[in-house]
Amino acid sequence: MVVVVAVGQPLTLWWRTSRAKGSFPHCKRDSIRLRVRPARSVLVEAEARAAPTLRVRDVDDGSVKVQIYQGGDRTDDLQAEARAMARSANASVYSPQLLVGKYGSRPVKVIRRTLKILIALGSFGLKLLVDQRNGVLNQNKRLRAAELRRVFTRLGPTFVKLGQGLSTRPDVCPPEYLEELSELQDALPTFPDTEAFSCIERELELPLDSVFSSISPSPIAAASLGQVYKAQLKYSGQVVAVKVQRPGIEEAIGLDFYLIRGLGFFVNKYVDVITTDVVALIDEFARRVYQELNYVQEGQNARRFKKLYADKEEVLVPDIFWDYTSGKVLTMEWVDGVKLNEQDAIERQGLKVLDLVNTGIQCSLRQLLEYGYFHADPHPGNLLATPEGKLAFLDFGMMSETPEEARFAIIGHVVHMVNRDYEAMARDYYALDFLSPDVDVSPIVPALRDFFDDALNSTVSELNFKTLVDGLGAVLYQYPFNVPAYYALILRSLTVLEGLALYADPNFKVLAASYPYFAKRLLTDPNPYLRDALIELLFKDGKFRWNRLENLLIQGKKDRDFSAKDALQPVLKLLLGSDGEELRTLVIKEAVRVTEAFIWGTVIDTYNSMPNFMRALVVNGNATGPLVMSIAEQESMIELRDQVFRIWGLLRSSESFDPALLQPILQVLQQPEARNLGGRVIGGITQRLAARLLQQVLRVPTTASASTL
């Protein structure tokens, strides 16, 4: 017997024996001879600590071939992905120059398509106008909604995507239109199954029956760019979804984008009210759509999305089967579930729509503000509620990224909105890349103030996200703003999620559901931008706002990843840093004020617990009680003390609370800077208590100067 081992690469062992096939487990060790030689296959990437996998197969000449992959399944997966990438090497990429070269010399085709679009949409608009004049606009809503769906379907994928976006906005479209347009998600016309099966065989270079033991004879869903079949893999029995691209889709989308881009140039040149670079937005959207045409890219998007966000038990992302994936065929794990806008079906499974929507919002916040890689097309057909209560994300063709600086600027923008600091809000637009550094933001401040002072009459959490977007949009149009493409996709993503939530609860507010995440990030993130935003939120006019801290802790505790220990670290680091002198001064003042509140609050409580005859002896006829301070001042001290107790209780009730979280404070107090800080605090407390005691002895009323350091 001879064993051949390939070291450092997939190990190939040849085991030759005179026994019959299948007798491999009974071979004796002393019948093995070992020889080392390089393996033919190349290891693309291996996990350092992955357990090796062993595969055995018989060979016709009586040998048994054993393959050991040190990288485990991860290595196989990467090799299969590399093969899939090779199959998609000729996938189309969006290029405005190529579109101009292709369609600029074909005026007849361009004019024909333009007329088709104008006639279809124009005739629909004319019918609405006639209905309005005849007073039957409401009676014909269902009829016109079905007609609009058919118009979008006839006009092709570009307009189907427009209809998909409208189908998730109950605050924009009447219910009749929502129901009709929702059919655009997965009830589009199909193309012949023979073409789909031929495409699979052509792309995978394998006969259909060698890949699947069974496949649905007709598609179970038809999307804008392709249609989906349910199948079972022959080698494993795994149930999968097989998406096959529509024939001729590149030609149809390319012509539409050529026309839309030409319209964008017209808008940029002649429509002054729109200051955004419309062509840049169209190019960004077109690039995303062309990426959707490359199913290998979509599979890679899914893999990255799963790695970043499927660590939460409530989120499900299906696996990709790379050996059966190419530029026009995508094979992925089958997911059983119900679309997120089918409320009745979800509730029949014992699930709550709002719980799933909240999971989607929390995941989206992580996408937008934590890693910056986000799903830009979360319509109901792409979000499923599984029977286990998980939220499954599907269709990863349209993805986008938020720049790192913008992620922190968005969180800071929310803080400035809460504080109604409109000057800071205006300056945020530099970091968000809305304005060039040479633009003066001072004229923008009054416009922001006029809108938000009216919108924030109650609280930010009660503000509808669409109202916020519309209001900001009105401001943006008045000034030289240039809205980045990524931001437009963010707005689309969040408005779609809010639209989904409104199906279950018309009063749902995305901002309210987002508060726990924002609070957690502000309290725990050490990023300098967010650390400064937290201090800005907590301090005002040199005074600490304990009610803001209490509210942040209440909201932050609702986030499952909140850690009480982490909440202390950012402020501690800044407090002892070289640039923390201003904060140290504020902390000293607040420490003195809190200590005084504890001492005199205890005195007041002791006095209130005394019998009446003892009180009379203590006050000795003083109408204000034992202390020379007003009733309002006494109540203020007690409230401050009780608020600090409540905040401590919130920290202690955190699941991650550990008395050891105070250890950093003790370590800090041993540092020279901290000892100096502690001395200043003790000196301030001593000074304040001495002043108070002297007032009691001399019975001098408290003055304004006595209450400050």
Question: 3-class SS at 106?
Answer: coil
Q: Which two tokens stand for residue 487?
A: 């931001």
Cβ count near 573 (within 10 Å): 15
105 CB burial (10 A radius; 0-12, 13-18, 19+) = exposed
State which H helix or E strand residue 231 sits in. strand 226-233
Q: Which two tokens stand for residue 565?
A: 């220990």
**Pairwise pLDDT comparison (561 vs 142), residue with the higher score:** 142
Q: Where are the beta strands (DSSP E) in 579-652?
A: none
How far is Cα 641 from Cα 651, in angstroms, rounded to an integer?
16
On the question of pLDDT at 193 being above 50, the answer is: yes
Q: What is the pLDDT of residues 546-559, one digit of tens each?
A: 778 778 888 887 88
Question: 3-class SS at 701?
Answer: coil
How far is Cα 9 from Cα 112, in angstroms, rounded to an integer?
58
How much is the pTM? 0.69
Instruction: Write down the mean pLDDT value for the chain.
Output: 75
Burial annotation 622-632 (CB, 10 A radius, 16+ → b, else e)? eeebbbbbeee
| 75: confidence class by pLDDT, cuts 50, 70, 90 | confident
Q: Please confirm, yes or no, whether 377 is among the known catalytic residues.
A: yes
Burial annotation 529-564 (CB, 10 A radius, 16+ → b, else e)? ebbbbbbebbbeeeebebebbeebbebbbebeebbb
Q: Which two tokens stand for residue 46?
A: 């291996």
**Pairwise pLDDT comparison (648 vs 575), residue with the higher score:** 648
The residues of the chain that CATH labels 3.30.200 are 192-245+295-334
Task: Provide mean pLDDT across the span 632-652.
Answer: 75
Task: Provide mean pLDDT across the span 621-638.
Answer: 64
Tokens 């599907």 correspond to what residue?
394
CATH number, span 192-245+295-334: 3.30.200
Q: What is the pLDDT of residues 79-127, one digit of tens each?
A: 899 999 999 888 888 999 999 999 988 999 999 999 999 999 899 999 9
Residues 6+ apart with CB under 8 A from 410: 368, 369, 402, 432
Q: What is the pLDDT of residues 468-491, one digit of tens each?
A: 766 676 676 677 777 776 776 677
Cβ count near 451 (within 10 Å): 18
Contact 669, 675 (CB under 8 A): yes
* Whole-number pLDDT of residue 224: 78
How far is Cα 155 from Cα 163, in angstroms, rounded to an integer?
11
**Pairwise pLDDT comparison (555 vs 659), residue with the higher score:** 555
Q: What is the pLDDT of residues 33-43, one digit of tens each?
A: 444 433 333 33
Q: Which of 377, 395, 421, 559 is catalytic?
A: 377
Q: Which residues pair with 329 in a beta bridge?
A: 244
Q: What's the distance, CA 84 to chain centroid?
A: 28
Contact 499, 168 (CB under 8 A): yes
Burial annotation 390-403 (CB, 10 A radius, 16+ → b, else e)? bbbbbbbbbbbbbe
Alpha carbon separation from 288 to 164, 292, 398, 399, 570 (Å, rounded): 16, 6, 5, 7, 38
Task: Provide mean pLDDT across the span 152-181.
Answer: 77
* Whole-number pLDDT of residue 477: 63
* Whole-number pLDDT of residue 64: 46
On the question of pLDDT at 631 being above 90, the answer is: no
How far is Cα 331 from Cα 77, in angstroms, rounded to an integer?
14
Q: Where are the beta strands (DSSP E) in 344-395?
A: 373-375, 383-385, 391-393
Cβ count near 192 (within 10 Å): 9
What is the 3-state secondary structure of 319-356? Answer: CECHHHCCCCEEEEECCCCEECCCHHHHHHCCCCHHHH
